[in-house]
Amino acid sequence: MLVAALQMVSTGHWPDNLQQAQRLLQEAARQGAELLVLPEYFCLIGQKDADKLELQEPFGAGPIQHFLARTAQDLGVWIVGGTLPLSTQHADRVYNSSLAFSPQGACVARYDKIHLFRFDNGVERYDESRVLERGAAPVLFELPSRDGHCWRIGMSVCYDLRFPELYRGYAASGMDLLLLPAAFTHTTGQAHWEVLLRARAIENLAFVAAAAQGGVHPNGRQTWGQSMLIDPWGTVLAQQAQEPGVVLAELDPAVLGQRRSQLPALSHRLL
């Protein structure tokens, strides 16, 4: 299955971000990608955290969800819509949600980001809990691909990457591919992004598709980028450092079976 991790540099103007996303989705589809993954906050990186509240949509309705559903159907591909703000029961909180759409335009999976990022090094300060409500449950979905393999796909978002127990649970449920839309800061990405992604692939003997924000945004924030696709042995199949682009790689289920047969570590777990 040909998979595309789409890298963006989103702004605070959501219509422009949808146009940027559409160009990348169309380019990836033209190149034959079957699963297309957008980055976290693909629709908005605003001037302040509260901007997410103004853009929020109820689950199942709204221009951003309509865009994702329509584009998946028009292009005949699977799209995982990075993340977008979905409404909660509280006026001052939203979920940071990743939605998967089938080629028929149906939303087949929703994952609400579980782990909320907080970081303060004296210069940069982030605290997602100020406007986000955390999700409560891991989510897997199945993708029957053109190659005849039915992929079991585990969903996650950005800061989740630092919590390996989430992915161990997915592996125990038969995960083949884990997705990670992200907007890693330049500081934390430079230090930890690649090593954590490769570790998650190696320890779970699974493919990884990580789609990132990558550049300097109008609000002054700098994101790390380096969107990449990784195989179950930890080999980076494709990547892009910065700026918008399409990162493509063919994921072969035979490689998955071979690596798990050669090193059956998942069956050796005792704890």
Question: 34, 52, 57, 158: which is the annotated catalytic residue?
Answer: 158
Question: 34, 40, 128, 133: which is the annotated catalytic residue?
Answer: 40
Alpha carbons 42 and 137: distance in angstroms, whole number: 22
Let me know if 48 is a catalytic residue: no
Alpha carbons 84 and 42: distance in angstroms, whole number: 7
CB atoms within 10 A of CB 270: 3
**Cβ pair 80, 37 in contact under 8 A:** yes
Query: Please, what is the angle between helix 164-172 and helix 194-204, to 10°?
Result: 30
What letter represents residue 261's amino acid?
S
Q: SS3 of 186, please?
A: helix
Let me know if 40 is a catalytic residue: yes
Let me know if 158 is a catalytic residue: yes
- The position carrying tokens 């884990």 is 178
Nearest CA-CA partner of 83 in 9, 16, 15, 180: 180
Question: 34, 52, 113, 133: which is the annotated catalytic residue?
Answer: 113
Known catalytic residues are: 40, 113, 158
